[in-house]
Chains A and B, each alone.
Chain A
């Protein structure tokens, strides 16, 4: 065992000097099929787009801060909310989560790499190309003559707004093609994740010993097959409409605008769960480690995740109550939507039960997870309010809805994601992130988040519609919009602290060692950062917490299985 380890390390040490530094480094990253490098590229690329889409959000808040403002033109405002939404979903949330999945899944199941390394690289580059293509529209969207124009049809691009007649030039082409490419990349990575989890597990790691993170990524990936493919199909139809003159969504020729809505939301709602399940996955790993207890109810967590996956495929039309689905349709989608909260509630109680009676350590990752629990609960509650069709008729397309889904995406997904950054950063870089800066980041983000999104519900209740470019004074919306704007600035500053912390800690952070959190899953058994080959010897496990077994030979988990 020791000899083979030194053998591999020796190869590792002697290899680099044979290649010149500089261009070869870029070449290495461009041509890599290593899951860790691809995962990191996913994450860095998503962070860059996070900053871009965040700036777009800031400009919108500046425009809406006071009534009758003309900071940007109405056309630019339409482009801003379209680009903000499209970027955040397709080029921030999906890549950053799949980046974590790419990095962590092989390490957690004791594998050398993903099942299909080259497919992995292909998926990353096709998604990255999609993101660049989307932003190329700023320079080339109207064709080659004159200035470019970004897409301005909203992130769900309702028909017939995207028809050639209503969307001349090429801005909508950029939207549909970049989303199509992102969908192909997402499907490729999802195939890879499922195949990796089922076919690459190390000895002894049965499915019910897999870390919950891997389980949740598997469920999310299976949802990708059922949910992202309809979007891909709908984008193919839209391309056919725009390029070949077919009539799928052409209302003049009998085509149906409502069909696009169905196809889009068959993707759109499960997509929320595709994003939230990986963040549940992070919470599943972080909460037990910082509560010093094994996760409560592992089988129930797996079952609840699979149940969420199934039920969430039949809730999409709750985005469409206002188009008139009829009583049968309304009833079905109201109940289906409400049923999703049952497995989600099971998860919530399992996390609470994990914390209950544990020795809770409030380091930064745990702080973000606690923030996640509170905020995701509130987001879920406004979700249940909106799932009641009559309530939705009143508030659909108002700022209440905007507040609700930002509560899910920022308060839930982003908080748990930040926790994941602080938790796995030492593994990726070998250095700890600054705890002080992390706490500043956390508290400022919490304050900014609540200022923005708590108060955003109120103008919604007062009737402020989403996507309006400006508004008149005297409707009672002014104060709330000012507060929302201030909160947005605080969140922006907090994010800058986070980015600074990422860079600063890379050079100055204290050495982390292989296992800084005294954790239990396999990724902490290798060095930080892990070597190219991950594990010198294929690990072998006999319980769901292999490192616990190793550290506590007198009280192994495997005894209780």
Chain B
């Protein structure tokens, strides 16, 4: 009764603009990841003070000030990288990405030091008690996300360094920066839950 391909072509009145799929996809991923973190945070809060043996958070945890400053400022540098790329400033973008990589690595080093300190000086492992279980899994889950983001940032940094990044990639870099902001926001929550409320 009807032929195929007869849907008429648009008689353009206004341009048809749709959101960027990378950004929408990343927001979806962030929603899913946020739910995962929410469950781990819930478990952490639920098990606060329920450990049958020591050590307790108050005995062993110290505020990770340096790491926190590094990670939070890396959000600023990645934002600067995207902003520079938008304006076509490739050099600024490379610098911003390099700074982000350095700051993220510094954060991971402080986490590694903290874990080394906890494991070798206080004998706290994931098996020790409920605090160890929930602490290492929550902080470890966040650190895993930092590592994934760091690998992507390193890739972007080298692409930028070798001159393969152009202004057209600004939206793609923005997807990565969105992820990175999320990782930072999660750290704010982890910091509050583990080091402020939980201590």
Query: 6 tightest A-B contacts by CB?
Result: A229-B35, A540-B10, A233-B39, A539-B7, A199-B21, A246-B133
B-side contacts of A132, CB under 8 Å:
none
B-side contacts of A550, CB under 8 Å:
2, 6-8
Q: Looking at the complex, which of B76-84, B98-106, B122-130, B154-162 is the stretch in contact with chain A?
A: B122-130
A195 with B25: CB separation less than 8 A? yes
- CB contact under 8 A between A253 and B130, given known A233-B40, A514-B2, A527-B4: yes
A294 at the interface (CB under 8 A from B): no
B-side contacts of A236, CB under 8 Å:
36, 137, 141
B29 at the interface (CB under 8 A from A): yes
B10 with A195: CB separation less than 8 A? no
The smallest C-beta distance from A33 to any residue of chain B, in angstroms, reads 15
Q: List 24 A-B contacts (CB under 8 A).
A: A1-B9, A115-B21, A116-B21, A119-B25, A199-B18, A199-B24, A224-B32, A225-B31, A229-B35, A230-B38, A234-B39, A240-B133, A244-B126, A246-B126, A247-B127, A248-B133, A248-B134, A254-B50, A254-B51, A259-B46, A525-B5, A537-B5, A540-B7, A540-B8
B114 at the interface (CB under 8 A from A): no
Give A229 to B28 CA distance when docked, in angstroms.
12
Which residue in B8, B9, B28, B137 is a CB contact (below 8 Å) of A246?
B137
B residues adjacent to A (C-beta < 8 A):
1-2, 4-10, 16, 18-21, 24-25, 28-29, 31-40, 43, 46-47, 50-52, 126-127, 129-130, 132-134, 136-137, 141
Q: Mark A251-285, 1 if CB is under 8 A from B, else 0.
A: 00111100100010010000000000000000000
The smallest C-beta distance from B144 to any residue of chain A, in angstroms, reads 10
Give A119 to B51 CA distance when docked, in angstroms.
41
> Which of B6, B129, B134 has most A Cβ within 10 Å?
B6
Nearest-neighbor residue (CB-CB) of A8 within chain B: B5
Nearest-neighbor residue (CB-CB) of B18 within chain A: A199
The smallest C-beta distance from A387 to any residue of chain B, in angstroms, reads 24
Which residue in A247, A514, A515, A540 is a CB contact (below 8 Å) of B130?
A247
Give A230 to B40 CA distance when docked, in angstroms.
9
A191 with B32: CB separation less than 8 A? yes
A541 with B7: CB separation less than 8 A? yes
A-side contacts of B137, CB under 8 Å:
236-237, 240, 246, 248
A191 with B10: CB separation less than 8 A? no
B-side contacts of A240, CB under 8 Å:
126, 133, 137
B19 with A191: CB separation less than 8 A? no
A551 with B28: CB separation less than 8 A? no
The smallest C-beta distance from A261 to any residue of chain B, in angstroms, reads 13
B18 with A254: CB separation less than 8 A? no
Give A201 to B39 CA distance when docked, in angstroms.
34
B1 with A515: CB separation less than 8 A? yes
B-side contacts of A540, CB under 8 Å:
7-10
Which residue in A116, A204, A229, A254 is a CB contact (below 8 Å) of B36?
A229
A-side contacts of B19, CB under 8 Å:
198-199
The smallest C-beta distance from B99 to any residue of chain A, in angstroms, reads 30
A115 with B16: CB separation less than 8 A? no
A525 with B32: CB separation less than 8 A? no
Which residue in A191, A256, A535 is a CB contact (below 8 Å) of B28?
A191
- CB contact under 8 A between A199 and B133, given known A518-B1, A522-B7, A537-B7: no
A203 with B10: CB separation less than 8 A? yes
B-side contacts of A536, CB under 8 Å:
5
B4 with A526: CB separation less than 8 A? yes
Give A51 to B16 CA distance when docked, in angstroms.
46
The smallest C-beta distance from B53 to any residue of chain A, in angstroms, reads 8
A546 at the interface (CB under 8 A from B): yes
Give A222 to B163 CA distance when docked, in angstroms.
38
B36 with A233: CB separation less than 8 A? yes
Taking A244-B126, A515-B2, A538-B9 as given, write out 11 further A-B residue pairs in contact, using a Cβ cutoff of 8 Å, ordered by the A residue number: A199-B20, A225-B32, A228-B32, A236-B137, A237-B43, A247-B130, A253-B130, A254-B47, A525-B6, A537-B5, A546-B7
A187 at the interface (CB under 8 A from B): yes
Contact residues, A67-122 vs B (CB, 8 A): 110, 115-116, 119
A7 at the interface (CB under 8 A from B): no
The smallest C-beta distance from B54 to any residue of chain A, in angstroms, reads 13
A510 at the interface (CB under 8 A from B): no
Q: Mark A208-248, 1 if CB is under 8 A from B, else 0.
A: 00000000000001101111111011101100100011111
The smallest C-beta distance from B51 to any residue of chain A, in angstroms, reads 6
B133 with A204: CB separation less than 8 A? no
Give A199 to B175 CA distance when docked, in angstroms.
15
> Which of A194, A204, A225, A232 has most B Cβ within 10 Å?
A225
A-side contacts of B35, CB under 8 Å:
225-227, 229-230, 233
A229 with B43: CB separation less than 8 A? no
B24 with A198: CB separation less than 8 A? yes
Give A68 to B110 CA distance when docked, in angstroms.
64
Give A5 to B7 CA distance when docked, in angstroms.
12
Give A237 to B126 CA distance when docked, in angstroms.
11
Which residue in B6, B20, B133, B141 is a CB contact (below 8 Å) of A247?
B133
B52 with A253: CB separation less than 8 A? yes
Nearest-neighbor residue (CB-CB) of A4 within chain B: B5
A200 at the interface (CB under 8 A from B): yes
A191 with B6: CB separation less than 8 A? no
B33 with A201: CB separation less than 8 A? no
A245 with B126: CB separation less than 8 A? yes
> Which of B29, B39, B129 has most A Cβ within 10 Å?
B39
Give A547 to B37 CA distance when docked, in angstroms.
45
B39 with A229: CB separation less than 8 A? yes
A-side contacts of B7, CB under 8 Å:
110, 522, 525, 535, 537, 539-541, 546, 550
Contact residues, A354-389 vs B (CB, 8 A): none
A190 at the interface (CB under 8 A from B): yes
The smallest C-beta distance from B13 to any residue of chain A, in angstroms, reads 10
Give A539 to B16 CA distance when docked, in angstroms.
13
A187 with B129: CB separation less than 8 A? no
A-side contacts of B126, CB under 8 Å:
240, 244-246
The smallest C-beta distance from A39 to any residue of chain B, in angstroms, reads 19
B-side contacts of A194, CB under 8 Å:
24-25, 28
Give A551 to B136 CA distance when docked, in angstroms.
63
B129 with A253: CB separation less than 8 A? yes
